[in-house]
Amino acid sequence: MNVAEKPVIAPDSLIGQRIQKKDAPEKAAGKTRYIQDMVVPGMLHAKILRSSRVHARIKSIDTSAAKALPGVHVVLTAADVPDQQPIGVARDHLPLKGERVRSQRDEIAAVAADSEEIAEAALKLIRVEYEDLPVIATPEDAIKPGAPLIHPAPLDADGRPQALPPKTPIAFAGKADNIAMRFDYTHGDIAQAEAESDVVVEDTFQLHYVTHCCMGVSGVIAEFDASGNLLMYSNTQVPFLHKREFAEYLNIDPSRVRIIQPPIGGGFGSKLDIYPFEVICIFLARAAKRPVKMVFTREEEFLASPTRQPVLLTLRSGCKKDGTLTFRQVHTLHDNGAYTSWGATTPFVMMQTFSSLYRVPACDYHTTVVYTNNPYAGSFRGYGNLQATFAIEQHMDMLAEKIGMDPLDFRLMNAQDAGEVTGQGMTFKSCGFKECLTTAAERSEYRKKHADNLANRDAPGPVKRGIGIASMLHVGGGAKIYPSDGCGTILKLDDFANVTLITGASEIGQGSETVLSQLVCEELGLPISAVTVVNNDTAITPWDVGVHASRTTFIAGNSAIGAARKAKAKILAAAAKKHGCDEVELDLRGGFVIRADSGEPLVELARLMRNLHFSDKAELVMTTFYYEPPSVHQDKAFKGDVSAAYAWAAQVVEVEVDTDTGIVKMTKVTGTHDVGRVLNRLGLEGQIEGGVVMGQGYALTENLIVENGITRNPNFRDYKLVTAPEIPEMDITFVESMDGEGPQGAKGVGEAPAICIAAAAANAIYNATGVRIFALPFTPEAVYRALRGAAPKPHWQAWKPE
């Protein structure tokens, strides 16, 4: 166990306060300059021609008329960039498609012109001849024997597969089946655990497409200087990984790539991979020898930015009569779409939930990720955990009902405690799971309402009330996926005791600038206004792996604290020397060096800084720190303590179901989160509220409708984000488990709040109506059909794979 003592909080401490986000005034005033607002002298505007077919061979592309249009500078097709390299996790994706298109979003040509309008007009002049190929619209079809291949191997002149060197990327070598990836994990003896079970349930769950809907759509500006160095203004969440990868695609030294991030209008995981548009924009800039800007339209954002991973999931769960869980067996089919991005790797997170949310002696997890002609999924806040939790938390209720146990008691009985090591090797240091469950249940009067609703199910009137609970486990101390999961900080104080905090951690709206400033100020005894954060330029900031895995507060926070403590040590040493005392007798508070015991101010910090600077020794206070969390990489069997801390939550959802229409109204969400420690209460509440609404959208309204590979609703009219009047009442509370490794005891929480909502909503609808729905989303028509018994249960023969 590694749990810290919760210190007595000094009255002037910033920890736990409600601190306004540093960038809030600019954003509220409309003054923030996003990439959309940026103008680089001499820049051209770019547009991409996308496929008008879902799956086809490209017979010819004629760009002559587009090239002839006045104002057009460059038109590129695959033929113009013979050096292009495949992108993506599986290296199966060429940015410009020359021979074959595999999905509606596929890029065929790109234009850079004097204006967006001219570029748009030029696209209309490009003629493409296609020869349609059979469309694979479902993952089930993709794995049928004899299914057409999405990435067939190229043939030589005699029609034989070309001989290619080993390790040739899939984009060139093809793939002999439609299976993009597999994941297999096991602990314990499933057969024995099943034999010991009194009750076993098996169901198939179906999770749909949703997408991030960032207010700031994708965009990039690329330019080369006279020496061939690449500068990109980019919305990426992972600037340092991109720097390296772009260099690889361009075959240049990574030091020659510089990425500057203008303020980012939301990420949620969507800006975690490299996409064709970015590479294409670089190609255009290279060819035009001018800066080139490319910003998506909203429709394009719907069509060509990634989705959340859709999943077909069969789950078997067992328990004993006394309420002990015995085993879980999971098989999922992931629709990979035509190319592989991070969505394919969501099993990393999904299996954690199955193996480790509750104590389960045996767990068997399998995922098959298959190519289809659908859109491809990327990473999205929660990273597979919404999908896994949807299944597992419904089964918890179903098992409890079968053995006649209260669903809350059943959860408490199997919930993890601090000190536990799971079958997957996760070690729970701080763990407030049970307290989350009991707190959320008590505050929402879960037990009473659950019983009352059951009793009222058959009362007259079309509207039924329901309450449901779900819980979650997610990484809260980074995730060691890359060789390093660290973050660097450079910190300097000026002559007036103002701090510049140079951090590798990107701000994507989550509030990292504010919380990092707060942590630094807490060490140095300064007001939050004394800190300027520099965090958006790879030429300046030290390395960070990127914004993902709910890691920034934890990792970058520890890094910032490390740098601040070094600065503090320097300052106190200098003050001690000057005032002839021991540095342990001193502290920093309220902009002064003070005596630690009496609080008596000794010298103003700004004055001390000037004394240091303009003395004979002429010193400035500048420090650096690199924090690497004490987590480990998983082994090949997916075992290992991958995060330095784990976050927990329980959420209770209350609904009203109108049985005449199927409308589910979410009336209240009671959520309790183990956040380790509350740092910025305002920022934390904002994260939770936003996450709850995102979870609500996933559960009830959002649905990217993809039919035969075609996205039917690429607009906000028919893709329904939750609007303000639909947002439920929220009661959010925090459990402070004081993580021993966390910054001031805190753990990551960015992804957590979205995870439970759909699962809890499913349980609430069941509580209200007695109807269990296994497929998302719970749109009115879907719910109405289920209530009328007119919705077929999702089905998949997962247990008898060929």
Partner 1 sequence: MTAIERYAAPQNLDEALGILQQGEVTILAGGTDLMPQTKAGRIAFKPTLMNIGRIAGLKGVTLDGEHLRIGALTTISELLRDPLVAQHAAVLAEACDHFASDQIRNAGTLGGNINNASPAGDTLVPLIVLDAEVELASKPNGSVATRRMPLAEFFTGPGRTKRAANELLTAVRIPLPKPGHVARFYKFGTRPALDISTISIGIAGIKRDGALTDTRVAFGAVAPTPVRAPRTEAALEGRRLDAAAIEAAADAARDEVNPIDDVRASAWYRKELIHNMTRRMLDHVAHA
Query: Smaller CB distance to partner 1: residue 154 or 792?
Result: 792
Query: Smaller CB distance to partner 1: residue 54 or 280?
Result: 54
Tokens found for residue 681? 């209460």
Give the C-alpha separation, 763 to 705, whole Å. 25
Vertex 563 angle, CA 558 and 564, to 5°: 95
CB of 790 to partner 1, least distance (A): 8
DSSP at 253: -
CB of 722 to partner 1, least distance (A): 8
Vertex 110 angle, CA 109 and 115, to 5°: 145
CB of 784 to partner 1, least distance (A): 6
CB of 721 to partner 1, least distance (A): 9
Query: Smaller CB distance to partner 1: residue 682 or 721?
Result: 721
CB of 524 to partner 1, least distance (A): 46
CB of 786 to partner 1, least distance (A): 12
Give the C-alpha separation, 610 to 612, whole Å. 5
Give the C-alpha separation, 292 to 233, whole Å. 10
Cα-based distances in Å from 5 to 24, 228, 263, 744: 33, 54, 37, 10
CB of 709 to partner 1, least distance (A): 16
Residue at 772: amino acid letter: R
Q: Determine the distance from the C-alpha atom of residue 760 to the mean position of all C-alpha atoms in its chain, rounded to a whole number.
A: 21
Give the C-alpha separation, 339 to 93, whole Å. 6
Cis peptide before 139 (omega within 30 of 0): no
CB of 723 to partner 1, least distance (A): 5
Query: Smaller CB distance to partner 1: residue 390 or 784?
Result: 784
CB of 166 to partner 1, least distance (A): 46
Query: Smaller CB distance to partner 1: residue 19 or 782?
Result: 782
Q: Which residues contact 766 (CB under 8 A, 6 or more apart)?
A: 394, 397, 466, 468, 772, 773
Query: Smaller CB distance to partner 1: residue 258 or 720?
Result: 720
Query: Smaller CB distance to partner 1: residue 557 or 709?
Result: 709
Cα-based distances in Å from 76 to 50, 281, 519: 13, 10, 48
Give the C-alpha separation, 100 to 130, whole Å. 9
Query: Smaller CB distance to partner 1: residue 110 or 722?
Result: 722
Q: DSSP string of 480-548?
A: --SS---EEEEEEE-TTS-EEEEESPPPSSSSHHHHHHHHHHHHHT--GGGEEEE-SBTTTSPPB--S-
266: left (phi over 0), alpha (psi -120 to 50) or beta: left
CB of 462 to partner 1, least distance (A): 7
Query: Smaller CB distance to partner 1: residue 2 or 659?
Result: 659
Query: Smaller CB distance to partner 1: residue 43 or 54?
Result: 54
Residue at 314: amino acid letter: T
DSSP at 418: T
Query: Smaller CB distance to partner 1: residue 37 or 781?
Result: 781
Q: Which positions lie near partner 1, rule CB under 8 A?
A: 462, 660-661, 663, 701, 705, 712-713, 717-718, 720, 722-726, 779-781, 784-785, 788
Q: Which residues contact 747 (CB under 8 A, 6 or more apart)?
A: 430, 476, 477, 554, 645, 646, 647, 674, 675, 676, 677, 737, 739
Query: Smaller CB distance to partner 1: residue 371 or 778?
Result: 778
CB of 113 to partner 1, least distance (A): 16
Give the C-alpha separation, 477 to 312, whole Å. 29
CB of 696 to partner 1, least distance (A): 12
